[in-house]
Amino acid sequence: MGDCVLRIEKLTKRFGANVAVDAATLDVDKPCMIGIIGRSGAGKSTLLRMINRLADASEGSVTFEGRDVTALTGAARRAWQADCAMIFQQFNLVPRMDVVSNVLHGTLNRRSTLATVFNLFPMDDIHQAIDILDRLGIAEHAPKRAEALSGGQQQRVAIARALMQDPKIILADEPIASLDPMNAQTVMEALRRIHEEDGRTVIANLHTLDTARRYCDRVIGMRDGRIVFDGLPEQLTTGVAREIYGADSSFSEAATSTEIGALDKVHTLEMEAEAYV
Ligand SMILES: Nc1ncnc2c1ncn2[C@@H]1O[C@H](COP(=O)(O)OP(=O)(O)O)[C@@H](O)[C@H]1O
Ligand SMILES: [Mg+2]
């Protein structure tokens, strides 16, 4: 892999009079792990959906390796969607279907309708699916129904399904928002490993600051549809976070945190302010 060049230029999405994403511009020059933070309604999901062409931009462009992907149609658009696989908060698995078949659904776009109808999967694909599940530590659950697994395991199944497409980019929309802290950690570690070991770019919308700081190389902050911060995790001070979240002086990091034990900490702005003096 290695040559991930993604350019997003003045990407805008309007819903009537509401500007959900307002001229977002960012460049990714090499594979990295990016966290996007911001309060609910800031435009994070819409931005990811435009990148992967689940939503069409009102204006602006997304270019990948020199190709404008906002202009792709038909098979080319589907190929792009395989190149930038999407992971969702609610996993989007077929609950009553077994785990390995759920993973194999990641190959549907390259199979014939007939094979799909009869649920015929090539043996090579089945082996590959099991290998990916094994890598994510859940191969033993392959024959079980997806619904029998914990949330963290189901999200890893969804990651496995994404990996079946051999994507260059993984877009994750609040991948850990419905998980308890232990499962959240397992899923974030899986995404981090996929970035480090495979050289895939991961772009994840995250609802907690500490997750972004801990796992990402770069953090993007959105507010009211605009990118208001783009920098290193260590540059994400409480003051910057307050600007992104638009919080008043009662803003507390604990309120945006799911880190184990973080809720026990009294980590207020005032204390943080003292630390930066
Ligand atoms: N399909 C839609 N139709 C109309 N408005 C939408 C739609 N999707 C999102 N929006 C609006 O766009 C803004 C950004 O939403 P979203 O991208 O979901 O934000 P986030 O993911 O940061 O919570 C919000 O004001 C939201 O109400
Ligand atoms: Mg969202």
In a domain, residue 58? The reply is yes
pLDDT band at 123 (very low <50, low <70, confident <90, very high): confident
Residue 66 lies in a domain: yes
Q: Give a yes or no: residue 85 inside a domain.
A: yes
Domain of residue 176, CATH code: 3.40.50.300
Residue burial 85-99, b: 16+ Cβ < 10 Å; e: rest: bbbbbebebeeeebb
Q: How many domains does the chain have?
A: 1
What's the length of the chain?
A: 277
Question: Would residue 100 count as lying in a domain?
Answer: no
Q: Is the CB of 44 under 6 A from ligand 1?
A: yes
d(CA 16, CA 52): 22
Residue 210 near residue 24, CB atoms below 8 Å: no
Band of residue 263 on the pLDDT scale cut at 50, 70, 90: very low
> Is 143 inside any structural domain?
no
Q: Cβ(45) to ligand 1 under 6 A?
A: yes
What own/partner pairs with CB < 8 Å and gap ≥ 24 does 234-237 have?
Answer: 236/209, 236/212, 237/272, 237/276
Rounded to the nearest angstrom, the gap between the alpha carbon of residue 109 and the centroid of all alpha carbons in its chain is 21
- Residue 78: both structure tokens together: 């589907």
pTM, full prediction: 0.88
pLDDT at position 121: 79
Q: Which residue's C-alpha comes closest to atom 13 of ligand 1?
A: 20
